[in-house]
Structure 1
């Protein structure tokens, strides 16, 4: 049955039904969007495929959900910006080939959404492997080709963005409040109390004062908080935006501090059985982020809110995600090579030289003599594209035709 239109701000008890509908509609927008929101289908496939059919990499931290939208410009505490992995909900110690397959699937579906011919998908897989393997060479610090336009645009925007611009997007003018509406919903009295108490704890205050040259002794005060409807696969879990004043200086928007608090759930990504990881999901996410993307990981802390593990970080104006939905053939090829290299560098920085050499040899061992694309990667992407295309059409039939847009 069609969902009812919600014209008032939803109460906490109404969130789950609305979020479920929003997620289903978001996944129905395109096959590429469906891939981003259907991580469990990807993990089910990984668990069913024979482990011997994939190269077995070293036990390192992997993203676990390495699609295009989870890479982008990230700033460190000193303002230096790099393209890195930026989402770690599914991070585990596992097989690095899983990240490569997930990225390849994402690129293949983006190519399909852009109506690019199938031969381009084959080319994407070829340059993706080249870009990834280049991260393990002696000259890994050298540039690999021209940055794709999407990356250049994102980096340019990141370098230019100021806190005032971020504030205009997230803060309601002179009232110093988070604007309630489509994305931000009212937090309950209890939620506000718990989050306010969180930022009085020493660990949270240390994180607040660690950025933007704030005084270590600055008093932290919560100005406002709201439930945040953000993401796709994570819709339905706790997510809060928090406005803070550090040191009583929030007289202008440039002095405000905006934090993101997100629930850390059990990772569904396959992991190596003997891997030693933090049992607490929030600590797992933070550790994975520090290993794969230090710019972001060093700005994160694990905590608990409403008896659930959460991780939190201050949002910086430079933190953006890549948007690669409709691209040309040349742009798609450049993006595949460049983004694969980013993932390769994230993996390589966790390995010593012998481990890098062994992993490079393992990748070469699985390369076919007749195809430029490794057979394991090509067959994986073909299987996954076929299954996701079928599932996407069925998803559209079940949800996109039945649901009505939600209004606020």
Structure 2
């Protein structure tokens, strides 16, 4: 973004530009479209006949469980595990929705990798197997696919220096304005500074084991953060904090992600009792599904909007699934199924787990270790999303207002 463009993008002008950026991202590939079109998934779900798939126990679900929303996360003690890492859509609902959403995501990845349709069938079988095994034996260790091994190696060696270069483009205690970070108004800056002046929120920066609980926390800089896909257009800020400004001890910086919490599209259980505030809903879902991440989060109000806040650690990385071989596709599906299974199973007692496993295998055929409801759902969703993707591309090309944006 040019300097002149940065000056023109006042807070009330962001939305139009961000919507154009979201449309651009979603036009790049079917996989990108699936990531950014959560609404399309739940539109399909709403029109599907009742009884088509199992009704699971009402637990906290991710709500937008594609593979890009799984990845390594660190806890306050520095331990790293692969867990769910996005909770915008989290609700108390039917766990089957997470399975179907992940199945669609993996099926699209298989098509992007030019794998034959029979591999998609086998991937979904492996997805179910990995998921179900977590309800029988939590001690089982699933083989990691290469894409997970790679990102875990990066997570285990990642330091603030590399993190700052990747996310801030520099090592200076400031946020560089440009393509990703935009200037904010004085009122936005004051609101963020005031929020971290509260002991509860400054304490979020000192939760890491290596930091002093009584350290002084200072907001060095803050900016609007153009980040994500389906969430583009909602408020999102980055705040750079300095912890204990004593140079003799070495400067300790941290980057806080402040994200608007909006109403979830995911259908909730009829009698579910969840926090009415969306930020608190996101926080509770994270605590249940991904304890490593949930313990590092807080919910608040910022300028009248519900938000949730977390420190971004070098170990928190997104899982990217690129070109898959047939073997890698099998291993990845089973492994990711186990991650979601673990997140669901920890919320159930032994009796509920056993009953749910039996219900999962309803309509499983003798020939395939895959229930019809999952296969039929993914096939329908692929057709729906691919046709919608092409229509999205057509609409994008017809939109001349932002014609300078090219598909890369």
Q: Secondary structure at the match of 2:197?
A: coil
TM-score when scaled to structure 1?
0.95
Selected match of 1:177 from 168, 171, 174: 174
The correspondence of residues 79-118 of structure 1 with structure 2, limited to 5 A, is 79-118=78-117
319-328 or 378-387, larger mean C-alpha shift: 319-328
1:141, distance to aligned residue in structure 2 (A)? 1.3
1:145-181 C-alpha deviation (Å, 9 max, x unpaired):
x310100000000001011111122335464110111
State yes or no: 1:264 paired with 2:261.
yes
User: What is the distance in 2 between the residues matched to 1:187 and 1:300?
Assistant: 23
1:7, distance to aligned residue in structure 2 (A)? 5.1
Does the CA-based 8 Å contact 2:3-2:178 persist in structure 1? no
Q: 1:186 to 1:131 in 2, by over 3 A?
A: same
Aligned partner of 1:147 in structure 2 is: 144
1:100, distance to aligned residue in structure 2 (A)? 0.2
State yes or no: 1:278 paired with 2:259.
no
User: What is the distance in 1 between the residues matched to 2:366 and 2:171?
Assistant: 65
1:216, distance to aligned residue in structure 2 (A)? 2.0
Q: 1:250 to 1:89 in 2, by over 3 A?
A: farther
User: What is the distance in 1 between the residues matched to 2:196 and 2:37?
Assistant: 34
User: What is the distance in 2 between the residues matched to 1:85 and 1:215?
Assistant: 28
Does the CA-based 8 Å contact 2:244-2:251 persist in structure 1? no
Does the CA-based 8 Å contact 1:66-1:102 persist in structure 2? yes
State yes or no: 1:220 paired with 2:213.
no
User: What is the distance in 2 between the residues matched to 1:317 and 1:177?
Assistant: 17
Aligned partner of 2:5 in structure 1 is: 8
Aligned partner of 1:60 in structure 2 is: 59
User: What is the distance in 2 between the residues matched to 1:121 and 1:271?
Assistant: 29
Selected match of 1:204 from 201, 209, 224: 201
1:361, distance to aligned residue in structure 2 (A)? 1.1
Does the CA-based 8 Å contact 2:161-2:171 persist in structure 1? no
User: What is the distance in 2 between the residues matched to 1:252 and 1:217?
Assistant: 15
Aligned partner of 2:163 in structure 1 is: 166
Aligned partner of 1:21 in structure 2 is: 20
Q: 1:6 to 1:243 in 2, by over 3 A?
A: closer
Q: Secondary structure at the match of 1:135?
A: helix
The correspondence of residues 2-401 of structure 1 with structure 2, limited to 5 A, is 8-9=5-6, 10-137=9-136, 139-144=137-142, 146-171=143-168, 173=170, 175-249=172-246, 255-400=252-397
Count of aligned pairs? 402
Does the CA-based 8 Å contact 1:5-1:405 persist in structure 2? no
1:114, distance to aligned residue in structure 2 (A)? 1.4
1:221-271 C-alpha deviation (Å, 9 max, x unpaired):
100000000000100001000001122146898611110000000000011
Q: 1:45 to 1:157 in 2, by over 3 A?
A: same
70-79 or 366-375, larger mean C-alpha shift: 366-375
Q: 1:102 to 1:254 in 2, by over 3 A?
A: farther
Does the CA-based 8 Å contact 1:84-1:342 persist in structure 2? yes
User: What is the distance in 2 between the residues matched to 1:181 and 1:288?
Assistant: 33
Q: Secondary structure at the match of 1:312?
A: strand
1:273, distance to aligned residue in structure 2 (A)? 1.0
User: What is the distance in 2 between the residues matched to 1:253 and 1:170?
Assistant: 21
1:34, distance to aligned residue in structure 2 (A)? 0.3
1:311-335 C-alpha deviation (Å, 9 max, x unpaired):
0001100000100132222111111
Q: 1:324 to 1:128 in 2, by over 3 A?
A: same
1:206, distance to aligned residue in structure 2 (A)? 1.9
1:363, distance to aligned residue in structure 2 (A)? 1.1
1:115, distance to aligned residue in structure 2 (A)? 1.4
Does the CA-based 8 Å contact 1:225-1:243 persist in structure 2? yes
User: Where in structure 1 are there 5+ consecutive unaligned residues?
Assistant: none
User: What is the distance in 2 between the residues matched to 1:200 and 1:5?
Assistant: 33
